[in-house]
Structure 1
Amino acid sequence: MRQPDIEIYVKDADLPAVSAWLEGALGPCSTWRQQGQVYKATAEGEGAAFRLAWLPKAVGKWHSLFIDSPATPWEDDRACARAAFAALGVEIRCATGGWDEEEDEEAADRWVKVDAEGEREFVWRTD
């Protein structure tokens, strides 16, 4: 089932590099504008609009990229993480799948890591 939005965590990549990757994947991006600690932009391509949010150092050294649209070229966070790693060459993390508050906290700590060693699940305690 296609996710309604995408969120990945990016290590050691700057916003210009991420923006260039997004333009190639989604279409032209507007200028990023800062609102508090978050940078926001939009991208448009192939009849779809994408709301983008970039939060530098959301979790330690990890930057959060949020794409608000069910029309991304990726089925889920994992597919986006694979594409981001292929394009950026830096470690990418994402949730293993959907999670809701009725699940236990252990489920919330299960993540996927995509890097030069491949793709694997691990426990990432972000609090």
Structure 2
Amino acid sequence: MRQPDIEIYLKDADRQTVGTWLEQSLGPCSPWQSKGEVSTCESASGIPIVWLPKAVGKWHSLLLESDNTPWEDDLACARDAYQALQVEIRCAPGGWQEDEQEEEADRWISLTEQGEQEIIWRTG
């Protein structure tokens, strides 16, 4: 089932490199607008994009606020991003629910040069 939005976490990536990958995947994007730490832009197809550096420690958050992306879910996006950027990426294993048990919320998929693996990542 297609997720309503996509969010992945990237380690050791910069906004410019991620922006180049996004343009290859989504088409041209508007110039980045920054408010404090948060930067936003929009793809030509109308997908709002949010970049939050160091959202969780050294991890940067990339949020695509649309269900109209080329990826069905976070994991598909994370796989594509890893292939293009070759940096460690983490994402939730499925859609996130507000009433989810805490231990379920700490389950993540990590994509590295060693492959994909499920990990426990306590972000709170």
TM interval, shorter chain, is over 0.9
Distance 1:103 1:42 in 2: 30
Amino acid aligned to 2:48: R
Specify the alignment match of 1:115 in structure 2: 112
Q: Extract structure 1 runs of 4+ deviating beyond 3 A.
A: none
Alpha-carbon distance, 1:100 to partner: 1.6
Alignment of 1:1-127 (within 5 A): 1-44=1-44, 48-127=45-124
Distance 1:101 1:65 in 2: 20
Q: What runs of 5+ residues in structure 1 fail to find an aligned partner? A: none
Amino acid aligned to 1:62: W
Q: Secondary structure at the match of 2:47?
A: strand
Q: Is the 8 A contact 1:8 1:81 kept in 2?
A: yes
RMSD between aligned alpha carbons? 0.8
Alpha-carbon distance, 1:69 to partner: 1.1
Q: Alpha-carbon deviations, 1:103-123, whole Å to 9, x = none?
A: 210000000001111111110
Q: Is the 8 A contact 1:99 1:107 kept in 2?
A: no
Q: What runs of 5+ residues in structure 2 fail to find an aligned partner? A: none
Distance 1:98 1:107 in 2: 11
Q: Taking structure 2 as the reference length, what is the TM-score of the superposition?
A: 0.97
Q: Alpha-carbon deviations, 1:63-103, whole Å to 9, x = none?
A: 00000111100010000000000000000000111122322
Identical counterparts, % of pairs: 60
Q: Taking structure 1 as the reference length, what is the TM-score of the superposition?
A: 0.95
Number of residues of Structure 1 aligned to a counterpart in Structure 2: 124
Q: Alpha-carbon deviations, 1:12-36, whole Å to 9, x = none?
A: 0101100000000001011111012
Q: Is the 8 A contact 1:82 1:114 kept in 2?
A: yes
